[in-house]
Structure 1
Amino acid sequence: MTVLYDAQCPLCRHVRGWLERQWQLVPLEFVPAGSAEAARRFPDLDHARTLREITVISDVGEVYEASDAWLVCLWALKGRRATAYRFSTPTGARLARGAVLAAAKWREATSPTVNGKEGVRPTAQGRAGRTPADASPSTPVGPWTWNGKSWQPSAPTAEPCGEHCAPPPG
């Protein structure tokens, strides 16, 4: 998975460092948002938006923003999947969104400009599973998708069972 982050933001750089130091079950690759590399690799993305919100792109092209991006990052880490599952439930999602809003406010308060642009404010909007050509209201977490009422398998798998064989709690 590729994580687009604001390389000019001290909080974003700190979180990137923390994520890099964790044991990753799914490799995370970090690319500065708004960079030439990001534009080359993901030409269909709104790169101005990626400078305002953490954005994660899966290996199959799914785009996650804000709290959904944080959930996907947690899900990628060993020992953090249960936390990602808890935050992906309706109640947990409100908590995750609140944390992202608090981080955005802190970022706004500690930086007179965002990416050198006066008046650009970070936002905490997003929808999991949004792709450049399509938007999905569901929330995928690993091989499971929360449809607003219950967990459903995203796709049948022939792989041997591991920690992903049972749906997330909630």
Structure 2
Amino acid sequence: MRGGGGGGRGAPGGPRARRLILLYDAQCPLCTFLRNWLARQRQLVPLDLVPAGSEEARRRCPGIDHISTLSEITLVGDSGQIYRGPAAWVVTLWALSEYRPLSHRFSTPAGARLARAAVLAAAKYRQTHRDQRFRKSGGGAYRRADGWVYDRVDGWTYYGPAACDGGCHVPD
């Protein structure tokens, strides 16, 4: 898979990534599980696993919208490629020795539908987990008009339009 293909930024057939930065939600149990799983895999292209929204993420990826990286998996290539959502997962699999053939299957039209369904299922899990953490904190969160919500268990979480395309539920 070439950089820029499948939802990335850049010309199809552009330079191949030699190193990738995967920005993941460090507060999400599914994301941290997958991060740990990825760290154990043999990588054909090195993956740097960096918490989204962290100082390290801002330092290493200065030109991207860091608010959106908290709500959608984002993969950044060393040649400026940016992949989000299903394309990010396909390219992540492409970087792994054992899963590169699977990434090629996911890059077909039928495979892309399956990859999208998997990303949507993960997003639903993440939203459910956020809602449960919010209820456990006892509610009473502080809300800002720009979409950021603070609760005493999880700290700041972004629920604005970029996080959920206007379709997510912010718990009361």
- 2 CA distance for matches of 1:115 and 1:71? 31
Closer, same or farther in 2 for the Cα pair 1:12/1:120, shift >3 Å? farther
Match of 1:40 among 43, 59, 64: 59
- 2 CA distance for matches of 1:96 and 1:80? 14
Closer, same or farther in 2 for the Cα pair 1:77/1:6, shift >3 Å? same
Asked whether the equivalents of residues 67 and 158 of structure 2 are also in contact (C-alpha less than 8 Å), the reply is no
Local SS of the residue matching 1:111: helix
Aligned to 1:159: none
Deviation at 1:119, TM superposition (A): 3.8
Match of 1:69 among 88, 91, 114: 88
- 1 CA distance for matches of 2:74 and 2:159? 21
Structure-to-structure mapping, 1:53-132, within 5 angstroms: 53-112=72-131, 116-117=156-157, 119-120=159-160, 122-123=163-164
Local SS of the residue matching 1:116: strand
Local SS of the residue matching 1:97: helix
User: In the TM superposition, what whole-angstrom CA distance separates every residue of 1:65-122 from its partner, at most 9, and x where no partner exists?
Assistant: 1111111110011121110000011111011000000000011012225873274585
The alignment of Structure 1 onto Structure 2 pairs a total of residues equal to 124
Local SS of the residue matching 2:32: helix
Match of 1:8 among 19, 27, 31: 27
- 2 CA distance for matches of 1:19 and 1:89? 23
User: In the TM superposition, what whole-angstrom CA distance separates every residue of 1:18-56 from its partner, at most 9, and x where no partner exists?
Assistant: 111111111100111101111112121000000001111
Local SS of the residue matching 2:119: helix
| TM-score, reference length from structure 1 | 0.68
Asked whether the equivalents of residues 51 and 115 of structure 1 are also in contact (C-alpha less than 8 Å), the reply is no
| TM-score, reference length from structure 2 | 0.67
- 2 CA distance for matches of 1:22 and 1:10? 19
Which residues of structure 2 form unaligned runs of 5+?
Answer: 1-19, 135-153, 166-172
- 2 CA distance for matches of 1:51 and 1:98? 19
TM-align CA RMSD: 2.0
More helix by share: 2
- 2 CA distance for matches of 1:40 and 1:57? 13
Closer, same or farther in 2 for the Cα pair 1:91/1:56, shift >3 Å? same
- 2 CA distance for matches of 1:8 and 1:80? 26
Which residues of structure 1 form unaligned runs of 5+?
Answer: 125-170
